[in-house]
Amino acid sequence: MASISPSIAVEAAVPGVAEIRANVVRRRRWDIVFAVVGFLATSVGVVTLLALFVDLVMDGYHRLTPDFFLSFPSRRAAEAGILSAWVGTCLVMMVTAAIGVPLAVSAGIYLEEYAPRNWVTTLIEINVSNLAAVPSIVYGLLALGLFVYALGFGQSILSAGLTLALMIMPVVVVATREAVRAVPHTIREAAYAVGATRWQATRDHVLPYSIPGIATGVIIGLARAIGETAPLITIGALTFIAYLPDPPISTKPPFVSFDWLWSGFTVLPIQMFNWVSRPGTAFHANAAAAGIVIVVLTLAMNGFAIYLRYRLRKRITW
Amino acid sequence: MKFALFGGAAAGALFASQVAFAAPEVKIDGSSTVYPVTEAVAEEFQKAKKGAVRVTVGISGTGGGFKKFCRGETDISNASRPILAQEMEACKQAGVDYIELPVAFDALAVVVHPQNNWAEVMTVDELKKIWEPAAQGKITNWKQVRPDWPDAKLSLYGAGADSGTFDYFTEAVVGKAKSSRGDYTASEDDNILVQGVSGDKFALGFFGFAYVHENPGKVKTVKIVNPKTGKPVEPSMEHVIDGSYQPLSRPLFIYVNRKAAERPEVAEFVEFYLVNGASLAREVGYTPLPDAAYKAAWARFQERKTGTVFGGVPEVGVQIMELLQRELKS
């Protein structure tokens, strides 16, 4: 600053330049103001997450022993664990992914590649976007009537997986469409030019190129589903369950069993919620430990999505 | 891989409408207030049976639990209040008979800050004056409750409107369930209320007994004048058991499906509940019934006497032994 000050006197003699300079300074100031505000706004999110996580870790880390993962719920806080909860969460997520992802990806590709541009398609698109904003409990009520009673699936892992599959569908549909739309048109045209059908162009070109984007959507959807409590309580998730569903794979023929789909279940957030509301700090430590597991799972899934996107993008060479 | 799984799931759905489990199962759902007791019993029962019987417990709330129970989906329903008239009707239409068994007491404590040296004793009328809907925005000072109490702002902490605790407190104090002033700090989580009261010298709050025991020194309990005897009663387990701590204590129930009770695993579970209920209830911070009450309940179960003694109308201030001797209606 000091070095340029002598020149100011010279320039001050020319009114036009001084005015411009002042103008620039004023505008620069706003630039800095916004940068600071923006930084603070961003920090709020990061700091909050960090503070919450640190708080959880302080309360719960001492409970994160192998026993905690291998024990069933108990009235004694020190003996209680999350075995049935994490197994339940994993099984429900498996059903959710196995059913929600193919449906949502197909729907997304259809809407983007096949559907004619008319009012029906527009209506469907608006509906899909709106579904993403529907409160999760509404999905629970729908599922209670449809899956639990009308289709007779009962209060089972299957009903829960289907419910969450419905819930993540809009997110995955939107992500799929974005990803498919990002594939340049020239790729499709090149495929058509050599005589490929629309399905061939989609399968061999559009889909492989859009997988990074789709995978991100899928994992964000699953990360949202993993923390859901309300719709699962609505369809009758249990809280105390001290046995595991029948294993999907056995040593006896036919080796694969789907009995677990019909089993009752509980999931991590429900177990955590139950512990939070109990008297006694020992249960709160359990809740915090279960919270750490959920947060780490969610972060790990998001991290995996980023990694996947990075890896798969590198493979695309056009 | 995923498509194969999807296909498999669809095939599974076609072939197995409802696969029977190898191990017999006892299905329980209902009140979250009764949950800790039933959870403890289920845990011990499964241990005693070495995993040969599966017990599951859900928390849909008393009302949600009865809905499932009257559709015949559960074997036992946890209830923090007696079955209501419309629920009796639903059960009757579905052909579900039930055996009503009290299993423990739930008691609410009125609490103040440990340094509060004026509110030693309160009457139900004073509580009503504070909590009734008409008090909203009007009763805001301790002096307004009793003239010789300090001229200081009265800060209130209580259960949120979705909890059974709220229903019960309003029923017992105001005289009508869910009827309360709205301008108080409400939380479904009693731990939040403990923190609130312990950090505010002029606070008054109410929550379950167990939370007082778990937080010694943080809050002080208020003696409540029993409206029948006119004597102030210290909130304690023994006063709940002898029936003098009224109207803020109530029995908790399990309702057993009469047909399900034919199954040996359900009958054994109920027996286990009534034999070990006292010690397990105490362990999870609840007040057990007097021994005679468990014996009377066991006799009622053995004779498979169905129906309710309340006739569909909840009551405040009932004596447990008198309840067990009343005539059952269905």
Which pLDDT belongs to residue B275?
A: 94
Mean per-residue pLDDT, A36-54:
93
User: Average pLDDT for residues A252-277, to the nearest whole number?
Assistant: 83
Residue A85 CA from chain centroid, whole number: 19
Query: Within a 10 A sphere around the Cβ of A193, how many other Cβ atoms?
Result: 9
pLDDT value at residue B131: 94
Interface residue A101 vs chain B (CB under 8 A): yes
Asked whether residue B1 carries a pLDDT value surpassing 80, the answer given is no
- Inform me whether the C-beta atom of residue A240 falls under 8 Å from chain B C-beta atoms: yes
Question: Is residue A117 a part of any domain in this protein?
Answer: yes
Same structural domain, A130 and A207: yes
- pLDDT by residue (tens digit) across B117-174? 999 999 999 999 999 999 998 999 999 999 999 999 999 999 887 777 888 899 899 9
**A137 lies in a domain?**
yes
Judgement on whether residues A98 and A246 belong to the same structural domain of the protein: yes
Residues A290 and A197 in one domain: yes
Range B98-105 average pLDDT: 94
User: In angstroms, rounded to a whole number, what is the distance separating the alpha carbons of residues B72 and A196?
Assistant: 58
In this structure, the answer to whether residues A32 and A134 fall within a common structural domain is no
Cα(B320)–Cα(B135) distance, integer angstroms:
33
Query: B279 in contact with A at a CB cutoff of 8 Å?
Result: no
Q: How far apart are CA B291 and CA B230, in angstroms?
A: 27
In a domain, A10, yes or no: no
Looking at residue B328, what is its pLDDT?
Answer: 82
CB atoms within 10 A of CB A32: 9
Per-residue pLDDT of A195-247, as tens digits, reads 999 999 999 889 888 988 898 889 889 988 998 888 998 888 888 888 888 77
B236-274 tens-digit pLDDT: 888 998 889 989 998 999 999 999 999 999 999 999 999
Q: CA of A36 to nearest chain B CA: how many angstroms apart? A: 36
Averaged pLDDT for residues A78-86: 90
pLDDT at A250: 67
pLDDT value at residue A277:
79
Of the listed ranges A161-165, A290-294, B22-26, the least confidently predicted one is: B22-26
Q: What share of chain B is helix, strand, coil (3-state, %, to 5)?
A: 40, 20, 40
Whether A22 shows a pLDDT value over 50: the answer reads yes
Does residue A8 belong to any structural domain of this protein? Answer: no
Return the pLDDT at B212: 86
pLDDT (0 to 100) of residue B17: 37
Q: What is the pLDDT of residue B233?
A: 93
- A155-164 pLDDT, tens digit per residue, is 889 999 999 9
- What domains does chain B contain, in order, with CATH numbers? 20-104+251-329 (3.40.190.10), 109-241 (3.40.190.10)
pTM of the model: 0.78
Could you give the ipTM of this predicted complex?
Answer: 0.72
Domain end residue (candidates: A41, A58, A75) = A58
Residues 6+ apart with CB under 8 A from A235: A140, A143, A144, A147, A148, A155, A159, A160, A163
Question: Do residue A239 and residue A187 come from a single domain?
Answer: yes
Interface residue B24 vs chain A (CB under 8 A): no
Instruction: Report the sign of the C-alpha dihedral through residues A175, A181, A187, A193, in that order.
Output: positive
In chain B, the percentage of residues whose pLDDT exceeds 70 is: 93
A178 and A94 in a single domain? The answer is: yes
Question: How large is the average pLDDT for residues B291-305?
Answer: 92
Last residue of a domain, one of A58, A81, A110: A58
pLDDT at A280 over 80: no
CB of A261 within 8 Å of any CB in chain B? Answer: yes
The answer to whether the Cα torsion of B222, B228, B229, B230 is positive or negative is: positive
CATH number at residue A148: 1.10.3720.10
Distance from CA of B58 to the nearest CA of A (A): 4
Confidence of residue B322 (pLDDT cuts 50, 70, 90): confident
| pLDDT band, residue B15 (cuts 50/70/90) | very low
Q: Which residue has the higher pLDDT, B20 or B78?
A: B78
Question: Which residues of A fall within a CB distance of 8 Å from B191?
Answer: 276-277, 279, 284
Q: Which helix (H) or strand (E) holds B101?
A: strand B98-112
Do the domain assignments include residue A5? no
If asked whether residues A236 and A282 sit together in one domain, one would say: yes
Q: How many domains, chain A?
A: 2
The answer on pLDDT for A12 being more than 70 is: no
Instruction: Give pLDDT, residue B10.
Output: 43
Average pLDDT of span B63-90: 91
A239 and B57 within 8 Å at the Cβ level: the answer is yes
Judge if A30 and A143 occupy the same domain. no
Which residues, including other chains, have CB under 8 Å from residue A300's CB and lie 6 or more apart? Answer: none
Specify whether A51 is located in the same domain as A71. Answer: no
CB-CB contact of B325 with B249 (8 Å): no
The per-residue pLDDT for B217 is: 87
Confidence at residue A292, expressed as pLDDT on a 0 to 100 scale: 93
Q: Which of A111-115, A311-315, B36-40 comes out lowest in average pLDDT?
A: A311-315
- Residues of chain A contacting B211 with CB distance shorter than 8 Å: 279
Instruction: Render pLDDT for B160-180 as a digit per residue (tens, 0 to 9).
Output: 877 778 888 998 999 888 889
Residue A77 has pLDDT above 50, yes or no: yes
> 3-class DSSP state for residue B186?
strand
> For A232, phi and psi rounded to 5 degrees?
-75, -35
CA triple B80-B84-B86, angle to 5 deg: 140
C-alpha B314/C-alpha B167 separation (Å) is 11
Is the separation of the CB atoms in B106 and B326 below 8 Å? no
What is the span of the domain harbouring residue A44? Answer: 15-58
pLDDT of res. B9: 45
Q: Which of A86, A88, A90, A108 lies closest to A98 in space, CA to CA?
A: A90
Tokens of A60: 């719960």
Output A193 or B60, whichever has higher pLDDT.
A193
Query: Is A3 within a domain?
Result: no
Count of alpha carbons within 13 angstroms of residue B225, beta-carbon side: 13
HEC letters along B239-300: HHHCCCCCCCEEEEEEEEECCHHHCHHHHHHHHHHHHHHHHHHHHCCCECCCHHHHHHHHHH
Rounded Cα distance between A110 and B238, Å, is 69
A·B CB contacts under 8 A: 111
Query: Considering only A132-141, A304-313, B25-34, which range has the smallest mean pLDDT?
Result: A304-313
Average per-residue pLDDT for chain A: 87
- Any chain A CB within 8 A of the CB of B73? yes
B77 beta partners: B29, B255
A198 and A306 housed in the same domain: yes
B68-84 mean pLDDT:
92
Within a domain: A7: no
- Kindly give the residue spans of alpha helices, DSSP state H, lying in B95-242: 124-131, 142-145, 164-173, 190-198, 209-214, 237-241
- A270 inside domain: yes
Helix axes A83-109, A207-226, angle to 10 degrees: 140
Average pLDDT of the segment spanning B219-244: 91
Is A53 in the same domain as A162? Answer: no
**Is residue A117 predicted with pLDDT exceeding 80?**
yes
Q: Is the Cα torsion angle A114, A118, A122, A128 positive or negative in sign?
A: negative
> Judged by CB atoms within 8 Å, which residues 223-262 of B form the interface with A?
none
Same domain, A35 and A99: no
Distance CA B84, CA B254 (A): 14
For chain A positions 37-56, those within 8 Å of chain B (CB to CB) are none
